Amino acid sequence: MSFRVRTFAVLLIVALLSNAAACEEAPTWSPPSLESLPEQWADLPFDTFADNAIDAYLLYHPFLLTTQGLCEILGVRNDRLGSAGPDYFAQMARLADIVMGQLENYDRDELPLDRQITYNAVWEHFDGMRQLSASWCSFWISVNPSTACNLYAAMRILYERHPASTQDDLDDYVVRLWGFDDMISGMIEEIETAAAANVVLPYATIGQLIEEWLYPLTEAEGNWFFYVGLDKLDRVGSSSASYESSYLTRLEDAVRQAVVPALCRLVECLERVAGSLVVGEDAPEWQTTEHWRDYYAAVLRSSLGMTVDPAEVHARAKAEAERLRAELCALSESSAAVDLPVYTLLQCLWAAEYQCGQYFIDSERLADAYSWYELAREQASTLFETLPDSDPEFRLEDVPNTLYVAPLFDGSDSATILLPYEATEGKHILPTTVFHESIPGHHLQIARARTEDVTLLQQLTTWTGFCEGWAMYAERLAMEQGWHDGNACGLIGAYQSQLFAATMTVLETGRFALGWTEAEVQSYAEEMCPVDVSYIHQFLTYEQYMPVRTTSYFVGLTEFLDQRQRAIDELGVAFDLRSFHEAVLAHGNVPLSALETIVDAYIHGTLEGSAG
């Protein structure tokens, strides 16, 4: 029976039956009580404490449990929504305080190396979380642009990642809808806290958010959440007529009595905020407020797992961009290349000098992606002792950019690389994209982390600096190892990617830490950025809310390069690239501050082995 016919039949049954009395459905579990944790953890061995602390953290992030397939491991169901608002961030700060207090009971230096790295990971994660929680509520990070972004993320999770295999999954979906009241209440409180601190969006942006995102969701008839519930019912299948009738009644009750009223209150809140603004005027520049410096430092720290000086990062990124530009100019036969803006230079190279061409047919792009992956897997065997046991699936999806989706912990979904549908893009981009997302990039690193005896925190992509830094290092490794030999177009794409990370880091640190003016941003972007300048402004507008996104890519890359160079300098002929990679990947995803400890141990062990 088709989805539409089946849905009509079920709805007809519902219409013929009397409606059950509406009642709010509650989740089957709650996060651990913070008050009980100090006593529970008081006398635990370090390993047990670390696992318990990480479990407690995960249980406060139910969407993370769903997206990673961790519910089964932690013994809970997918029937909670994420939290928001000042109270939630205060809870996270309190959890961090408790964990940090317990860590003081262990002597890190007495632990073996792998436990020292775990100690570093726990300390860096929770101390960074404490700082971020303390500064978070001064800014509208999870509601500003993204009341839209958060709701979009929630909608994607509920549609794509929320399981739909059993009747329990259907029941869990309904319970999650009943949780909208609390989730939206937290968002509203955060909006009001932010607005009181003069952290708001422009009038026009709030209006667009309401019109395009929220108004359609405040209608009970034809509500998106209801139709997602119907789709899940169809995917589960084989349900009795009585269960389907009951489920649809409960689904409609949850949408009408929880989802729609909550979103209506959110719209009213945003309209109040918009009513206090002057039509046509820009929003206040909150990067100039007293809160911004602490907030920026906290976001930078939590993304990297280490503390860095933005001015030093800025200077290094600027120098690296100049170096890459000079090498890119050397690929051109034109003497005028050195005088061209980078974006114009790239266009000349791929369109005129090398005639790289574009993909217009998705199947051709997909076939080439597989070919580049096969090359990477073959070449990587000489650089890595351990390669993934299975290959990722390459699939076309409705996504804005190519991305790697890690396998779920419960085994319900395997590793996948998603390519956007109907993407007209230069062929020079694809090889580096594949190396970044698959081997030797994300797939190799994340698959390797899942096989190690490390904590869940280290198996997740917890620190962007390590995860994305490694993927950028993978791109650089492919360039160094000659994987683009005979394919100048692919080499041009590699330079474009590396230049993007360097130049966007210059702009991010300049704009958000060093006080660059719009004119300075415009001038540098037009001269050095390898993408159209209109995209730069769109990107930086988004970066106001996640201000260290590309910086974490660049800092991670340079940290891997620096630690490798340190090992080369100290070991000389005893240095082995294969064993170096084995060492830095053996502990999963770790804070960048732990890399020095890992490489120290690698150097010491290699020297001892050479002496023996």
Q: What is the DSSP string of 348-367?
A: IIIIIIS---EE--HHHHHH
- The pair phi, psi for residue 454, each rounded to 5°, is -130, 170
Q: Which of 323, 305, 343, 351 is nearest to 489 (CA)?
A: 351
- Residue 378 CB burial class (10 angstroms; 0-12, 13-18, ≥19): exposed
The pLDDT, as a whole number, for residue 282 is 61
3-state secondary structure of 419: strand
The pLDDT, as a whole number, for residue 13 is 35
Q: Which of 121, 116, 27 is nearest to 592 (CA)?
A: 121
Is the N-terminal amide bond of 202 cis, ω within 30° of 0?
A: no
pTM of the model: 0.91
The pLDDT, as a whole number, for residue 148 is 53
The pLDDT, as a whole number, for residue 283 is 58
**Tally of residues, the chain:** 612
Q: Which amino acid is at 72?
A: E
Per-block average pLDDT, block size 10, for the chain (612 residues)?
35 36 80 95 96 97 94 96 85 94 95 96 93 62 48 85 94 96 88 78 80 88 94 91 95 96 93 79 64 81 94 98 96 88 93 90 93 96 94 91 92 91 86 97 95 94 95 98 95 97 95 89 93 80 75 97 98 96 97 97 91 64
The pLDDT, as a whole number, for residue 2 is 36
Tokens of residue 518, six digits: 């719009």
The pLDDT, as a whole number, for residue 299 is 86
Measured over the CA atoms of residue 508, residue 510, residue 514 and residue 516, the dihedral's sign is negative
Specify the residue for token string 């108004």.
Answer: 215
Domain boundaries, the chain: 3-26+145-288, 34-136, 296-554
The pLDDT, as a whole number, for residue 132 is 77
The answer to whether 549 touches 409, Cβ cutoff 8 Å, is: no
